[in-house]
Amino acid sequence: MFIKEIIDNLKTKFLISEGEIAEFQNINKIYPMKISKYYLNLIKEKNDAIWKQCIPSIKEIEDLEGIDDPLFEEKDSPVPLITHRYPDRVLFLISDTCDMFCRFCTRKRKVGINFSINDEDIDEGLQYIKNHQNINDVILSGGDALCVSQQRLTKIIFFIAELKHVSIIRIGTRLPCVNPKRISKNIITTLTSLKFQLDKNKKALYMNIHFEHPDELTDESIEAIRKIANLGIPLGNQNVLLKNINDDVDILKKLYQKLVANYVKPYYMFQADLVKGTHHFKVDVDKGKSLIRGLQGFISGLCIPHYVIDAPDGKGKIPILPKYEIDENECVIKLKNYKNEISIYNKI
């Protein structure tokens, strides 16, 4: 659904004003709107956690902070569609669209605006991966990597499966969250075929998904997750810490416990990137550390993600931890646990 249909739906359900409609239209000229009908129907009331992720805010175009590409993906792009920052892995942008344009997207500069992918750029990306023997891990993203045609996805993964130096492929998608009906029999058949091909070549297929709030874990989305998990594809969740959406320890506990109960490992909790148009989503880093402290020890370690800042200027992901070490010297380290109990550990 694009802007006209979205506005018609919002008029009917939430009685939005003419002023709000004008705001949406103005924002859409700079940062387009796109929402699946499924996700739009998850909104319970204006400005709830679902609304804020998919409905534009005037703050997006009033925001004077941040830059279009704070992670310097373009700087680290040796050929179109490839970002090669770490020695052993690359990001490969194989998709130019999503089923929903998240308002906090790190690639807000691209998706839905001026980003298109052609077969020649895909082939150049594949040749780059082939020619760099140090690449062990390829992350397929976009856009949403499952929004490409199954023919393109198959071509890419079958090609990479034959490369001796690559052992891991990761697919990045938000479809199980924003439009779980698209995890269809056809996609499951394709994923089954791809996993079989990778298994045959002793490679591993992983999937990174994106759930930000427990209200997104509906019966339909859980069914989609379990279809993928039942193929033997390990699932990891990457959520962004978002102000007034999930910056609450009880919300995060519920989200992470529900994910783990459905075969999804919470992998990363990202501090919001410094993307132009998204400053209103930013949570104070000290609060982020306190949220991790509120999780550690109170829920299973399986449920706790790495809290990371994807550093500006392309310096990569840096883990952020609460301070559990109180003091240390050459011989001992003094530690505080989740109950604030003190322990002394002999280092040597």
In order, the DSSP letters of 211-240 are: --SGGG--HHHHHHHHHHHTTT--EEEEEE
Say if CB 167 and CB 206 are below 8 A apart.
no
Give Cβ neighbours of residue 97 (< 8 Å, ≥ 6 apart): 111, 112, 142, 143, 144, 147
Alpha-carbon span 306 to 319, nearest angstrom? 7
Say if CB 308 and CB 270 are below 8 A apart.
yes
Which residues are known to be catalytic? 85-86, 89, 98, 102, 105, 107, 273, 310, 317
Tokens of 53: 């992720």
Say if CB 206 and CB 265 are below 8 A apart.
no
Please, which residues bridge with residue 343 across strands?
335
Q: Positive or negative CA dihedral for 20, 26, 30, 35?
A: positive
Tokens of 35: 């929402």
Alpha-carbon span 280 to 264, nearest angstrom? 28
Q: How far is CA 138 from the centre of its chain?
A: 16
In order, the DSSP letters of 109-126 are: TTTTTT----HHHHHHHH
